[in-house]
Amino acid sequence: MTYDARFRVWRGDDSGGGLEDFTVEVNEGEVVLDIIHRLQATQTPDLAVRWNCKAGKCGSCSAEINGRPRLLCMTRMSTFTEAETITVTPMRAFPVVRDLVTDVSANYAKALEMPAFSPPDLAPGEYRMEQVDVARSQEFRKCIECFLCQDVCHVTRDHEDNKEAFAGPRFFIRAAELDMHPLDTRTDRTQFAQAEQGIGMCNITKCCTDVCPEHITITDNAIIPMKERVVDRRYDPLVWLGSKISRRKGA
Amino acid sequence: MSTDEQTPDLERRSFDVIVIGAGGAGLRAAIEAAEHGLKTAIVCKSLFGKAHTVMAEGGIAAAMGNSNPKDNWEVHFRDTLRGGKFLNNPRMAELHAKEAPQRVWELETYGALFDRTSDGRISQRNFGGHEYARLAHVGDRTGLELIRTLQQKIVSLQQEDIASSGDAEARLTVLAECTVTDLLVTDGRLAGAVAYWRDSGEFLLLAAPAVVLATGGIGKSFTVTSNSWEYTGDGHALALRAGAKLLNMEFVQFHPTGMVWPPSVKGILVTESVRGDGGVLRNSEGKRFMFEYVPDVFRGQYATTEEEADGWYADPENHKRPPELLPRDEVARAINSEVKAGRGSPHGGVFLDVSTRLPAEEIRRRLPSMYHQFKELADVDITAEPMEVGPTCHYVMGGVEVDPDTGASATPGLFAAGEVAGGMHGSNRLGGNSLSDLLVFGRRAGTGAAEYVASLASARPEPAPADVDAAVDLALAPCRRGAQGAGENPYAVHTELQETMNALVGIIRREGEVTEALEALAAIEERVAKVSSGASRRFDPGWNLALDLRNMLVVSRCVALAALERTESRGGHTREDHPVMDAQWRKVNLVCSLPDGPTSTRVELTRQPVPDIRADLLALFETDELAKYMTDEELTKS
């Protein structure tokens, strides 16, 4: 089962770089991250890669394999033929730090702009919620913040100038999660998604859903419902009137 | 000569408290320190939100009594001491059992969404060693929920600060991908830390009178482990070098169920929830072998027949517990014995089967991560076939000796919480007691640090420039030795260290092998002194590993020395040549220190009495049960 695979790995930093060719041993059952680690241990000790859990739970080892955004630890070598050259490059939508490591700090800046959970006026221990109600938000809380959705989204992937106005799929599901949280007291999550996060720029190509390693139905379960509710609120005269005569809580 | 002249580009920052580690304990400590008004730094070795806590699967143990109203802190306390074979620090176990429910409910006020009971409260699941269904959970990704919730709470505190002062970092600064290499101690008191940025390789001086260690464990010193790359014993080693002491380092938990195949995923955790929700262990003959392995101390609490055990899931009042739910040390040893007796699975484990126990849909709902993990990494459909599992190094019970109430170590200004702290779990930790430990003692260490800083007023110890220079100089040593080929390869030295610990100080230990390990560690120490890594330092994993090796080495030595000394078998320490639990040893804690100071690697091992169990806590047990653990003398005294 052991064979020598051909790998092309991007090496470089913010000043430039390029693909380097390697021939490296592959054993049964291995994933791409195993091969990157073997390169470190045997050929290139300073090859930069982020990783933590190696079990698809932490979302650290995001990169692009043959051009597709993926987790290195969840991409099995058996999905490629032995003759195939496997190309590993850093996430394209983020600035390179070194080799396969990118600067993902913009995501943390977006997170800081997202209004936090606004708790109800209940003592700790008195929260009561139905499983069916929490399940909707729980789907979005499966997010491991690998930022592959942020990487693949074409609104920003090739349009640097959209990055400021567009929060991206990871933060649309965060908005949806809070909007659907049974006890969150803010009522302006959809308006925030429209006015501050740029959800309107999403044109539902579902690339984010496609690359999500947690299989979160980002587009159908978060973005589309949020867009529909934005539309409801903006064009329904009764909702509009309601929003004018009753002060929203906790805002 | 001042520090500035020697290291002109050293970045300097000052805080009231530095929390090292951004897992559950670190984040909870930081929240508490910030809420006390302290200017707090959170130093994370990885990106914010990636700490090892995300890998916790099963749940948080807290006697909320949602699933069984008979549950309360006394029952939880009893279970914890039984799990730890009565070597636990009793005050820590008491605080933990009493405060865990408040800490879980508090997470809901931060926005956490746990799975619910039919009446809308937090659902609780069964786990090994817990008398009642006690673990609050979110499917099998509870650790992710915990870390994300705490991360988002920290963001919300930063938003409050933006609103009130315009400065997000008024109280909380997150230093991501930043590694502390040494603590700075001035006149015996904590004064700060030296760290480096991973991306640039540049150094920082962090001045602060208080440090909370929350660095987790030591699993990366073993080959087969469920632990992530960060688990290199940094906090354990930093504490030793800062003059604090480590307790009970011989107790290392091998989780009974890690993946065994394919080789690249060997060691990855398979949650205990699989057994808590009905999964059973079978050997190659198809036999549920755990019935053969119920030890005397637990006889009476566990079922002896399959009918009895299977009845328990639906009617726990009238049935005894399945032996698959014994504490982890017992199950791990049993699996090891079955494999050794030639009754293992094709890849050297045993079979863990939930497919014949629950409907496929229910398995996917309760254990979604496990379903995907096996499907994607091993081509195994756990709803249709059994998993192959075997023991994996998972957790260290040993750690920094701390004051139970405040987390204070022997060095003034140095605190510890979570896995890096010792005492709470005795000789073996129960599943689910880790996440609750992080929250209970993370909060307490945050308060402890805040009170300590307040007591200092303006009389804060200052970092000594010579200490800063020495720490930077030491961290640069691998770079001075030249690029790969000039010295030892850090990856090769790491592999040898792991193989040594795994083979010679692993789940089953023998005097000769542990002695051999200590000799091998001495040889590895010479190699560590020669590791080289090239000069760039910019996101250079080779250099990072070269520095981590120093910590793994000293921690491994502590584990081996204590394992050699304790001539009995208890919890996470099994001596084949001393297979019996000895009541005399129950009274002894083994304590490690560096008597010759931080630059020496000579570890001194001393014996110290285990703290007495207070009479009111002792009264929670029947005398018959205590007699299984304690000497006659102790029993008559109490």
ipTM: 0.93
CB atoms within 10 A of CB A42: 14
Three-state SS sequence of B4-47: HHHCCCCEEEECCEEEECCCHHHHHHHHHHHHCCCCEEEECCCC
Q: What is the pLDDT of residue A250?
A: 42
Determine the Cα–Cα distance for residues B135 and A129; give it in Å rounded to an integer.
Answer: 18
Q: What is the pLDDT of residue B485?
A: 67
| A30: confidence class by pLDDT, cuts 50, 70, 90 | very high
The answer to whether the CB atoms of A141 and B113 lie below 8 A apart is: yes
Residues of B in contact with A98 (CB under 8 A): 199, 538-539
Question: Chains A and B: how many Cβ contacts under 8 Å?
Answer: 181
**For chain B, which residues score pLDDT lower than 50?**
1-6
Q: How far is CA B320 from CA B314, B315, B358, in A?
A: 11, 9, 20
The CA distance from A169 to the nearest CA of chain B, in Å, is 17
The CA distance from A209 to the nearest CA of chain B, in Å, is 17
Q: What is the pLDDT of residues A110-137, one digit of tens each?
A: 999 999 999 999 999 999 999 999 999 9
Q: Does pLDDT of A231 surpass 80?
A: no
The CA distance from A116 to the nearest CA of chain B, in Å, is 5
Indicate the residue of A34, A52, A141 with minimum beta-carbon distance to B50: A52
Q: Does pLDDT of A248 surpass 50?
A: no
The CA distance from A205 to the nearest CA of chain B, in Å, is 25
The CA distance from A96 to the nearest CA of chain B, in Å, is 11
Spatial strand order in the sheet of B387-396: B252-259, B387-396, B350-353, B280-282
State whether residue B110 is helix, strand or coil. coil
Q: What is the pLDDT of residue A243?
A: 60
Q: What is the pLDDT of residue A239?
A: 60
Indicate the residue of A56, A104, A112 with minimum beta-carbon distance to B168: A112
Q: Are strands B124-125 and B135-136 parallel, antiparallel or unpaired?
A: antiparallel
Q: What is the pLDDT of residue A236?
A: 64
Determine the Cα–Cα distance for residues A40 and A26; give it in Å rounded to an integer.
Answer: 14
Residue with the bigger pLDDT between B2 and A102: it is: A102
Q: What is the pLDDT of residues B321-364, one digit of tens each?
A: 999 999 999 999 999 999 999 999 999 999 999 999 999 999 99
Q: A interface mutation test: which of B44, B47, B388 has the most A CBs within 10 A?
A: B47
Q: What is the pLDDT of residue B292?
A: 96
Residues of A in contact with B120 (CB under 8 A): 128-130
The answer to whether the CB atoms of A215 and B372 lie below 8 A apart is: yes
Residues of A in contact with B541 (CB under 8 A): 40, 45-49
The answer to whether the CB atoms of B120 and A97 lie below 8 A apart is: no
Q: What is the pLDDT of residue A1?
A: 79
The answer to whether the CB atoms of B159 and A116 lie below 8 A apart is: yes
Q: B interface mutation test: which of A11, A130, A145, A174 has the most B CBs within 10 A?
A: A145
Q: What's chain A's average pLDDT?
A: 93
Q: How far is CA B94 from CA A196, B98, B167, in A?
A: 48, 6, 39
Indicate the residue of B48, B145, B264 with minimum beta-carbon distance to A31: B264
What Rg value do the Cα atoms of chain B yield, rounded? 24
Q: What is the pLDDT of residues B441-470, one digit of tens each?
A: 999 999 999 999 999 988 899 999 999 999
Determine the Cα–Cα distance for residues B88 and B415; give it in Å rounded to an integer.
Answer: 19
Determine the Cα–Cα distance for residues A75 and A54; give it in Å rounded to an integer.
Answer: 11
Q: What is the pLDDT of residue A246?
A: 55
Give the helix, strand, coil percentages of chain B, each rounded to 5: 40, 15, 40
Q: How many residues does chain A have?
A: 251
Q: What is the pLDDT of residues A171-192, one digit of tens each?
A: 999 999 999 999 999 999 999 9
Nearest residue on chain B to A101, judged by CA atoms? B539
Q: What is the pLDDT of residue A229?
A: 83
Catalytic positions of B: 255, 275
Determine the Cα–Cα distance for residues A41 and B200; give it in Å rounded to an integer.
Answer: 21
Residues of B in contact with A104 (CB under 8 A): 47
